[in-house]
């Protein structure tokens, strides 16, 4: 029994950097997201999509001069790594974050031509049919508190050896009704989220059972991007005098998630900024001295 399409696993990307000593370090997660372009196509026919790399703002801000992106190409048996300059030759940044500083989402465009030139075919989430906005979650899918979810990513930098081996954590939607009522861009999941998970996709889990008055969840769809966990703090006190001496911070097991709406808004803002900077050309390019590498 499979509840996660294999393409969803391959769409997840390990995000890191090449540090000043030339060493590789992976500390975050991202995923490829495709925005359909042009007119709709007949069912079963491939459509055209503009590709974006999505991650968290705080992950993008941690990267130095050179980002390192590691992913699985659909036609290769091992992972592929791309070094990416974090600033374009013109000086403007490659990653652009959501205009609201409280929204922890960043995006950059991907050059499909560049990928094809290097014989690479990454998997990606299609915005139409494989992703659900908040309105679609509420009115079409009927997602509610307690529905099952998966969080995909690379906690603790565990990226795998031969291929990118995504770690799948299960959980449930913990609090969503207040998001519906306030049209907030965030909701809570009950799933273990650790450093390295930041920027990973959150997937709705299909369910075969449903009580009367609720909807069956018949397919896996992207419903958000995880950006952190809710910490639990506890103080250790000295008895004489009675005052806190040490604070222990623990993971509560609850994770914060931004909706797909925040992803779409970040992409729209990215396109606007690219217009200001002289056109909507894809900005991700392999450094000339560092061609794609595979293991």
The pLDDT value recorded for residue 186 is 93
pLDDT of residue 132: 95
What pLDDT was estimated at residue 288?
Answer: 32
Residues 9, 11: Cα–Cα separation, whole Å: 5
**What single DSSP character describes residue 286?**
B
**pTM for this predicted structure:** 0.85
Residue 283 reports pLDDT greater than 50: no
DSSP string, 128-170: TTSB--HHHIIIII---TT-EEEEEE-GGG---SSS---EEEE
Q: Is the pLDDT of residue 196 over 60?
A: yes
Mean pLDDT of 84-96: 77
Contact 67, 86 (CB under 8 A): yes
How large is the average pLDDT for residues 177-203?
Answer: 90
User: Would you say 185 and 261 are in contact if contact means Cβ atoms under 8 Å apart?
Assistant: yes
Mean pLDDT, to the nearest integer, of 186-201? 92
pLDDT of 57 reads: 92
Per-residue exposure over 98-128, b if at least 16 CB sit within 10 Å of its own CB, e if not: beeeebbbbbbbbebeebeeeebebbbbbbe
pLDDT for position 279: 55
pLDDT reported for residue 46: 55
Output the pLDDT for position 282: 44
What rounded mean pLDDT belongs to the chain?
81
The CA distances from residue 151 to 50, 176, 180, 205, 208, in Å, are 24, 16, 21, 10, 20
Give me the phi and psi of 278, to 5 degrees please: 110, 35
Q: Is pLDDT of 191 > 80?
A: yes
Over residues 10-29, mean pLDDT = 86
- In tens, the pLDDT along 40-87 reads 555 545 568 889 999 999 999 888 878 888 888 877 777 788 777 777
Provide CB contacts within 8 A for 272, sequence distance 6+. Answer: none
More confident residue, 190 or 25: 190
Mean pLDDT across the stretch 99-117? 84
134-180 pLDDT tens trace:
999 999 999 999 999 999 999 887 777 777 788 999 999 999 998 99
């Amino acid at each position: 029994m499979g509840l996660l399409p294999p393409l969803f696993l391959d769409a997840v990307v390990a995000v890191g950097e090449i540090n000043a000593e030339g060493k590789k370090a992976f500390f975050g997660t991202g995923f490829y997201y495709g925005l359909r372009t042009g007119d709709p196509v007949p069912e079963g026919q491939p459509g055209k999509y503009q590709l974006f790399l999505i991650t968290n703002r705080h992950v993008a801000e941690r990267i130095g001069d050179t980002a390192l992106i590691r992913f699985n190409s659909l036609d290769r048996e091992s992972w592929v790594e791309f070094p990416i300059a974090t600033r374009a030759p013109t000086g403007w940044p490659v990653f652009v974050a959501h205009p609201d500083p409280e929204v922890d989402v960043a995006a950059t465009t991907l050059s499909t031509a560049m990928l094809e030139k290097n014989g690479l075919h990454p998997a990606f989430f299609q915005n139409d049919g494989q992703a659900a906005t908040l309105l679609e979650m509420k009115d079409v899918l009927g997602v509610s508190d307690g529905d099952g979810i998966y969080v995909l990513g690379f906690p603790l930098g565990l990226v795998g050896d031969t291929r990118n081996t995504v770690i799948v954590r299960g959980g449930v939607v913990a609090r969503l009704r207040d998001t519906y009522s306030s049209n907030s861009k965030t909701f809570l999941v009950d799933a273990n989220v650790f450093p390295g998970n930041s920027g990973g996709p959150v997937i709705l889990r299909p369910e075969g059972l449903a009580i009367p008055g609720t909807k069956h969840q018949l397919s896996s769809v992207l419903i958000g991007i995880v950006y952190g966990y809710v910490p639990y703090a506890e103080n250790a006190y000295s008895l004489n005098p009675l005052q806190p001496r040490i604070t222990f911070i623990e993971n509560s097991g609850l994770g914060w998630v931004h909706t797909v709406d925040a992803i779409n808004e970040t992409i729209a803002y990215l396109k606007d900024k690219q217009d200001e900077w002289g056109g909507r050309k894809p900005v991700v390019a392999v450094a000339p001295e560092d061609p794609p590498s595979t293991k």
